[in-house]
Chain A
Amino acid sequence: MRLSANSQLPSAPKTAGSLYRPPLVSVCNRTKGVVADLRVGVHGLSAPEAGLVRALVVLSSHGGADFRWRFAADGPYDALIVGAAVDAAAPPARFLGWLGDEGTAAPGGMHLLARPLQAAGLEAWLRGLERAISAGAAAPAPVPAPPPESTPAPGPARMLRRWPPEALLRNDPRHLRAAALLARRGLAAHALADQSGLGEHGCRAFLRALDEQGLLGPPAAGSSAVFAPGIASALRARLQP
């Protein structure tokens, strides 16, 4: 049974000695005046991990009066936690998180939620997304994950308006390289892919994440990407680890 935001909580059983179990889908925030209007779901996780995400979302909603998230069984989603690379079957979502082992690089520029998943980490990520959504004013249409075999249009050249937050870079060397390139020149995804090591799909995801946080802008007047060999390549050859 799914409870809507306007449903009343079932009354506690009157049988002596019985334990009242609240419904898993929490609507508690509704009673506190905060509408749980943001939807988080899972795709490609095992049943126990999906259950854990659901339970942690419920815990967070009980702990914070201003927590706007609720676990949703189906899309569209504001945030989707996946357990593998996004495939064509993944439902559309604004933001993607990847449940993986600590220290590994999440594919496609997704945010890594490290195992074992804990309430604090999940809540911090969701609250960060909430701020990004709020900063974006009107809700954008959900961004579907592109199928692997698709070949999207190249897209315009963009450059950074400020250095990205640590949570987005996640100390991934490929993200750092991509950001360093975008800091100096406007680049489209296909041009960024070669130099950063992210690959074109990863670059598109990274650029999308940067764009969602308002970090990208048009290239500065007169800027253009120039990849010239010479002193830089000679230094690289000498500075091998």
Chain B
Amino acid sequence: MSDLRIVFTGSPGAGKSTAIAALSEARPVITPVAGKAWPAGMDLGQILLDDGRQVRLLGSPGQRGFDFAWCAVARGALGLVILVDNTRPDPLADLGLHLDGFSEELTDLPCVIGVGRTDECSAPSLDEYSDFLAQQGLVLPVLKVDVRQREDVLQLMDLLLLQLETMAGREGEAHA
């Protein structure tokens, strides 16, 4: 069975676990996949499709020290969700860290950015995030999100799936 996964990443406390919990139908702590065990501390959720396939929802550790694992978890994934906590001291730097960490994959990997806790701290604004992405040469959906609201998480997924549907060849890879 092919390994189908969507990766959730972001700074600590950005809401990765909450977002996964909003979507997951089951949540093992650690599950071996194709003989490998994911590193400890990585949230795992799953969605069971009607045809029996499983899509894993993988929360990668957001701390800088774990960036070595980011490429490994993102390679071959269906998509990437980057969650940012707008109340942190430098949210744009947090985003930049993850954009750098996944830079090789972002060219062909559907990705969406969710900015949380904007009601507590309105700066940076979404337009500043867009400017920051443009400076990195990236055009990615960025929107406000409250991961405690399933509708917001579903909207992130909708935009992710739209990208997946439009990118040539992704469907072929997913079925490999």
User: What is A's interface to B at a CB cutoff of 8 Å?
Assistant: 159-166, 171, 173, 176-177, 179-181, 183-185, 195, 223-239, 241
- New A-B contacts (11) at CB < 8 Å, excluding given A162-B133, A163-B141, A232-B164: A165-B130, A173-B158, A176-B143, A176-B159, A180-B162, A181-B163, A195-B162, A226-B169, A231-B171, A232-B171, A237-B49
Closest to A164 in B: B130
* Contact for A224 among B133, B168, B171, CB less than 8 A: B168
B141, A228: Cβ atoms closer than 8 Å = no
Chain A residues whose C-beta falls within 8 Å of the C-beta of B161 in the assembled complex: 232, 235-236
Decide yes or no whether B47 CB sits under 8 A from chain A.
Answer: yes
Decide yes or no whether B125 CB sits under 8 A from chain A.
Answer: yes
CA distance A1 to B134 in the complex (A): 49
Chain B nearest CB, measured from A77 CB (Å): 26
Chain B residues whose C-beta falls within 8 Å of the C-beta of A159 in the assembled complex: 139
CA distance A179 to B53 in the complex (A): 30
Chain A nearest CB, measured from B83 CB (Å): 17
A and B contact pairs by CB, cutoff 8 A, 11 listed? A160-B139, A163-B134, A163-B140, A173-B158, A177-B162, A180-B159, A183-B139, A231-B175, A235-B161, A236-B161, A237-B49
Decide yes or no whether B104 CB sits under 8 A from chain A.
Answer: no
CA distance A223 to B163 in the complex (A): 13
* Contact for B49 among A166, A179, A229, A234, CB less than 8 A: A234
CA distance A236 to B150 in the complex (A): 14
Chain A residues whose C-beta falls within 8 Å of the C-beta of B174 in the assembled complex: 230-231
Decide yes or no whether B55 CB sits under 8 A from chain A.
Answer: yes
Closest to A179 in B: B141
How many A-B Cβ pairs are below 8 Å?
114
B139, A232: Cβ atoms closer than 8 Å = no
User: What is B's interface to A at a CB cutoff of 8 Å?
Assistant: 4, 23, 47-51, 53, 55, 78, 110, 112, 125-127, 129-131, 133-134, 139-144, 150-151, 154-155, 157-159, 161-172, 174-175
Chain A nearest CB, measured from B168 CB (Å): 4
Chain B nearest CB, measured from A169 CB (Å): 8
Chain A nearest CB, measured from B42 CB (Å): 21
Closest to B134 in A: A162
B155, A225: Cβ atoms closer than 8 Å = no
Closest to B169 in A: A226
Closest to B130 in A: A163
Chain B residues whose C-beta falls within 8 Å of the C-beta of A181 in the assembled complex: 162-163, 166
* Contact for B4 among A227, A231, A239, CB less than 8 A: A231
Chain B residues whose C-beta falls within 8 Å of the C-beta of A241 in the assembled complex: 150-151, 154
Closest to B163 in A: A184
